[in-house]
Chains A and B, each alone.
Chain A
C-alpha cells in the first residue's frame, strides 16, 4: 500500500489509455525468451555434471577403464580450438550484421559453420577411437555419463550447424528482416553458450578425468 501511495497519480490528469502505443520490442522479447531457454539448458547440463560428480568414484568404474587410461587430450585440444575459432568468426559475422553487410555475414557464418563441422568430425573420430578400443557407454556407470555429456554437447553443435545453414538461406532470401535479426542474435547466444559449456566439459570431463 505504501508503494502505491508514494506514487499517487492525480485522477484529473491521469492517462487511462496508452494511445498509439507502439507495442513491445519484438527482437528484445524474443532474445529474452532465448536467454530463458538457455537457462533450462544450463540446468540440464548442471544435472548432467552433478551426475558426473556422483558417478566419478572408483566403484563407478566397475572394473572398466579409468578416464586417465583412454582420454586423448589431442582431440579435446582440437575441439577446443575449432569451437572457439568458430565462435570468434561468428562474432565477426555479427559485426558485419551491424554494418549491414549481407555478403560478409553469410561468408563468415559459412566459415563458422565449417569449423562446427570440423568439431563434429574430431568428436566423431575421438568417440570412434574409443569405441574401437572397447570403451562403450555400456561398460560402466562412469562411461555412461562420460559419453552422455560429450554426445549431448556434440548434438548441440549439430543443431548449431543446421541452424547456421538455415540462417544463411534466410539471409539470402529475405535480407535483414526483424525475424532474421532476432534469430541471428539468438544463434549468437546459442553458439557462445556452447563454447561456455565446452569450458566445463573440457575441465570436468577431460582434465579432471585425466588427473583422476
Chain B
C-alpha cells in the first residue's frame, strides 16, 4: 500500500541517515551549538539547584489553568523569538541580494542564503508565527483569564487542558528539531499542491511541516472544546450571559471558530498525508486529483483562523481600554454582537485568498462583498473603543499604550484590508508585498494586544507589576520598527515587488529594502529592551508587589481575588451581582476579599499522563516524518494503552482542607489592606479620589506626569 520512495530507507531508522544532519551549513551549526550550550546550561542549573522536583511537581505535571497558561505563553514567546530570527534573516538576505552584481557568500549566488535555505526560513517564519507563536500566546491568555473572569476554580477539563499544551509543545519541538535533523518545507507556510506532493517535494521537509501543523491543530481543537465548555458550564452563580466580560465573550466566539475550522485543516493535511504516504490522488495533477480542493479546504480553515487570532486581541483591547479610561465599556451589547458577526462572516470569505485562481467573476464578487462585510462589525468595535475613551480619564500606562497601538495598527491594517477585498485590485497585487504588509499590520495588532495583555495581567498571575521604564523603551522601539519596516513594505508593494524573493533583480528597490533592514535594527534593539524589561522587573519584584486590584480601576471579576491568584482562584465562589462586578463592589464599598468560614476545596490532582502523551505524540510525529514504521506503531500502541490505563485511575482528585485555605487567605491579607482602593469608581464619571503620582520615567514620563495617576500600587 505504501508509496515507493526515492533515496535510502532502512527498517530500523526509516529515511534517517547521517547525511540528513546539515553539518555543512555553518548557520545551522552555529545555531545548534548555541542551542546545545543553552540547553546544557539550563539542565545543569536545574540539577545544580535541585529544581527537578519543583519543576516536575509545580509545572510539568500541573493541571492548574494559570500555570498551563503561563507555559503556553512561554512557549509562544520562545517561538516568537524563533520566528523573529527567521524574519531577520529574510530581511537581511533581501537587502543583500539586489541586482546582478550583488555578491554571494556561503554557497549562495546572491546574498548569503541559498534559495532552498531561504524557502525553509520563510515557510518556518509563517507557520511558527501563526500557529506556534500567536496561537499559544492567545490560548495561554484565555487559559489564565477566562476562568478568573467567570469566577471558576479551573477549566472544565484540566487534564485535557494539559494535554492540549503538551501536544502544541510537541509540534513546536518538532519544528525546532527540523533545524538540525533533516530540513523544513520550503514552499510557503500554507503549502501548494501538487508542489507539496511526493514526486515534487520528495524530502522530509513537507512531512515536518504537515505533522507539526497537524499536532498544533489537534492541540488547539482540544483547547477550544475546553474553553467553550468552561464558559458555558463553569460560570459562577449570577454570571448571566449579559454580565460576561467582553474578553470572555471574545474567547467564546474565537473558540467556536477554532472548534469548527480546525477539523477542516486536519482533513486538508490528512488528505495530503494520504497522497504522500499511501499514494492516493486527492491533490495530484492527473489521476483524478483536484488541485483546487486543497486550496479550498486549507483556506476554509485559514480565513476563520485569522479571526481566531484577532478576536481575543479585540477582547484584550476591550478590557484594557475601559480600565485605563476609568469608564464603562461603550456599547457592551454591540461589542458582543460584533464579535459574533466577525466569527460568523469568517466562514464566508475564504476565497479572497485566491481571487486569481479559477473563479468566475460572480464568485469573486460574492467573496469581495462578504470580505467587505467584515469591516462593519470591526468598525463598530473601533468606534466603541473610541467612545469608551471619549471624556474618560485616560491613563497612558503601558497596557494602555499597547492597546492604543493595536487600535492604530488595526485602522491602517483594516483599511488596507478593504483595499485588498476588491478582486480587481487583487489581480494587480496578488502575492505582492502590499498584501504582505497588510497582514503583517494585522498580526502586529494581535502582537500589540498580546504585549498589552501581558503587561496588564502579569501582576494578577505573579503578584508584582512589570517595571515601566524599559517596557516603555520596548514599546517605542516596536512602534518605530513597525513603522519603518511596514510602511516601506507598502511602497514596495505599490512598486510591484512580490513576496518570497531570494534575489531582487531591480536595484531601484535597494533603498527601500535597506530602510526595512533599518526597521529590523529597531526591532532587534526592542527585543533587547524586552529582555531588560523582564530582568529588571524580576529583580525589583519585591518593590513592585501588587494588590488584588492592580491598576486600581479593574472592572471584572479577576481583580476580585488576590495577586498572585491562589491555586483555587477564589476561596469562596463569588456571587455575581452586576456586569463589571468588581466596579460595582467598589462603588458600594463591598471590597472585602476575606469572607471567612472557609471550606475544603475540591481540586484535580496533578498528573504526568498529558506530558507522557505529548512525548509519545512527538515520537509518533518523528516516526511518521522519517517513516520509521516500528516506532510509529509502538507510539500508537502506547498512546492507546496510556489513555485506557488513565481511564481506570480513580485517584484523580483531592481536597484542599479548609485550614490550608485559611492559611493561604490570611497570608494574602496584609498585602491586600495596603493596596485596596478606598473609593468607588463610578462608571462613566471621573474618579473623585486620586493620588497624584510623579512620572513613571522612561520616554512616556511626560504624558503620565501631567495627569494624576490613580491608586499607585508600587509600594
Contacts and interface: CB of A to CB of B under 8 A. Distances in A.
A43 interface: yes
B609 interface: no
Interface string A15-41: 111111101110011101100110111
Contact of B577 (A9, A59, A60, A137): A9
B287 interface: yes
Given A18-B237, A44-B263, A47-B268, A54 B228 contact: no
B259 A55 contact: no
Nearest to B560: A16
Contacts of A138: 1, 278-281
Contact of B590 (A11, A61, A62, A144): A11
Nearest to B280: A144
Given A24-B233, A43-B263, A62-B281, A4 B590 contact: no
B263 A41 contact: yes
Contact of B156 (A16, A33, A46, A141): A33
Contacts of A16: 574-575, 577, 585, 590, 592, 595
Interface size band for B: 35 or more
B280 A47 contact: no
Given A29-B233, A51-B271, A138-B278, A59 B288 contact: yes
A97 B573 CA distance: 33
A47 B267 contact: yes
Interface in B161-188: none
Contacts of A177: 650
B284 interface: yes
Interface in A141-195: 141-145, 147-148, 162, 166, 170, 173-174, 177, 179, 183
Contacts of A69: none
Given A16-B574, A17-B572, A29-B156, A23 B602 contact: yes
Nearest to A144: B280
B260 A39 contact: yes
Interface stretch (B289-297, B338-346, B687-695): B289-297
Given A21-B237, A24-B234, A51-B297, A43 B579 contact: no
B332 A1 contact: yes
A209 interface: no
Contact of B288 (A30, A39, A62, A174): A62
Nearest to B230: A29
A179 B650 CA distance: 9
B288 A55 contact: yes
A64 interface: yes
Interface string B293-335: 1001100100000000000000000000000000010001100
A211 interface: no
Interface in B231-280: 232-234, 236-238, 240, 242-243, 259-264, 266-268, 271, 274-275, 278-280
B225 A170 contact: no
A96 interface: no
B286 interface: yes
A108 interface: no
Contacts of B636: none
A74 interface: no
Interface residues of A, number: 61
B654 to A, nearest CB: 14
A29 B297 contact: no
B563 to A, nearest CB: 19
B260 A43 contact: yes
A3 B279 contact: no
A48 interface: yes
A132 interface: no
A40 B222 CA distance: 10
A64 B288 contact: yes
Interface in B418-445: none
Contacts of B578: 4, 7-9
Contacts of A18: 236-238, 572-575
Nearest to A44: B263
A33 B225 contact: yes
B599 interface: yes
Contacts of B226: 33
Most buried by B among A2, A47, A183: A47
Contacts of B260: 39-40, 43
Contacts of B683: 1
A160 B490 CA distance: 54
B263 A141 contact: no
B157 interface: yes
Contact of A40 (B221, B275, B573, B650): B221
Most buried by A among B232, B238, B267: B267
B282 interface: yes
A131 B18 CA distance: 38
A61 B286 CA distance: 10
Contacts of B296: 54
A141 B282 contact: yes
Interface string B102-137: 000000000000000000000000000000000000
Contact of A4 (B229, B243, B650): B243
B666 interface: no
Contact of A3 (B332, B590, B595): B332
Interface string B592-635: 10010101001000000000000000000000000000000000
B588 interface: yes
A6 B287 CA distance: 65
B648 interface: yes
Contacts of A29: 156, 229, 233-234
B577 A54 contact: no
B237 A141 contact: no
A140 B297 CA distance: 19
A21 B590 CA distance: 20
Contacts of B33: none
A40 B262 contact: yes
A174 B647 CA distance: 12
Interface string A48-68: 101100110001111010000
B358 interface: no
14 contacts: A3-B333, A4-B242, A21-B236, A21-B237, A21-B573, A29-B234, A33-B157, A33-B160, A44-B264, A51-B267, A51-B293, A55-B293, A60-B289, A144-B289
Given A14-B590, A17-B573, 17 more contacts: A1-B332, A8-B578, A14-B577, A16-B575, A16-B590, A19-B572, A39-B260, A41-B263, A51-B282, A54-B293, A55-B288, A141-B288, A143-B288, A162-B644, A170-B647, A174-B650, A183-B647
> 8 nearest interchain CB pairs?
A141-B288, A62-B288, A144-B280, A11-B588, A43-B263, A47-B267, A140-B288, A60-B288
